[in-house]
Structure 1
Amino acid sequence: MLIGEFSRQTNLTIDTLRYYEEVGLLQPLRTAGNRRQYQTKDIAWVNFLKRLKQTGMSIQNMQYYAQLRYAGNQTIPERLLLLQEQETRLDTLMAETQASLDFLHQKMATYREMQKANLPEHYNPEV
C-alpha cells in the first residue's frame, strides 16, 4: 500500500511516517518509481512503535531497537535488554506515581474527617 493508505491504516500523518523513515524507525520498500510501498507487516511494526512511545521510551532507544530489529533475530538478546530496561523505568515510575496517589488519598481523608468534625472556620490545618 502507498503512504496515504498506510497513514489511514496506522492513524499517523504522512509527515510522521516520513520522519520515522528519516530517523530509521521505518524502512518501507520502494516501487520502481521510488514510491514508498508499505506491507501489512509494517502496520504491526508501527503499532509496536506507538506502544514503545506510550511507554515513554526515548527516540534514541526506539531507533536502536529498530536497528536491531532490521538486523535480524540474532539481535533478540539486545532487544530483550532494551525492553527490560524500559520495564524497570516504568516500574519506578509506577512506584513514584503510587506514592503520590497515596499521599493525596491520605490528605483527602484528613480533610473529609475535618469536614465531618465541623471544625470552626478559623481552624487552619498545617497544610
Structure 2
Amino acid sequence: MYTISEIAKVVDISAHTLRYYEKEGIIDPIRNESGIRQFDEQHVQWLKFVKKLRETQMPVSQIKEYTRLFLEGEHTASARFRLIEDHQQYIRDQIDILLTTDEMLTKKVATYKELMQKSLS
C-alpha cells in the first residue's frame, strides 16, 4: 500500500492532482481506519493510464466519462471502446501534424544553414 505522497512519486504526479482526481471521481483511494488515503498496485496502474491520457491531451471530462463507464461494468465496453478509439485517432492526427511540421522545419533549417554558410564565405 502507498500513501498519497508515495504514489505521487511512483506515478510522478502531484498529491494535489491526486486529490483533484479523487474529487472528480477518477480515482477512489482506500481509506484506512484513520481515514488516511491508501493506494494499491491497481491504483498505480490506473493512474499511469490516466497520466498518459492527460499527456496526450484527453480532457478530464472524457477521463471522467471513461471512469464512469468502467465502473458501470462490462455492458459499457462498446462505449469505452469508442472513447478510446476516438482518442487514439486524435493522437494519430497529432502525430501526422507533427511529422509534416518537422519536415517543413527541416527544410527551413537547411535553408538557413546554407544562407549562413554563404555569408561566411
Q: Same fold (TM over 0.5)?
A: yes
1:48-59 → structure 2 map (5 Å cutoff): 48-59=49-60
**Structure 1 residues 69 and 111: alpha-carbon distance in aligned structure 2, compared to 1, 3 A threshold:** same
Structure 2 distance, partners of 1:114, 1:11, is 44
| CA distance in structure 2 between the partners assigned to 1:101 and 1:6 by the alignment | 36
Q: Report the number of matched residues.
A: 120
- Correspondences of 1:1-127 after superposition (within 5 Å): 1=1, 2-114=3-115, 118=118
Q: What percentage of residue pairs aligned between the two structures are identical? A: 27
Moved over 6 A (4+): none
The runs of 5 or more residues in structure 1 that have no matched partner are 122-127
Cα 1:114/1:76, change in 2 over 3 Å? same
Matched residues in 2 for 1:76 and 1:112: separation? 53
**Cα root mean square deviation, aligned:** 2.4
Question: What corresponds to 1:124 in structure 2?
Answer: none
Deviations 1:25-55 (A, max 9, x none): 1012223333323222111001111111111
Aligned-residue offset at 1:15: 1.8
SS at 2:107 equivalent? helix
* TM-score under structure 1 length normalisation: 0.78
Give the partner amino acid of 2:104: F
C-alpha distance in structure 1 between counterparts of 2:12 and 2:100, whole Å: 35
Q: Distance in 2 between matches of 1:78 and 1:60?
A: 15
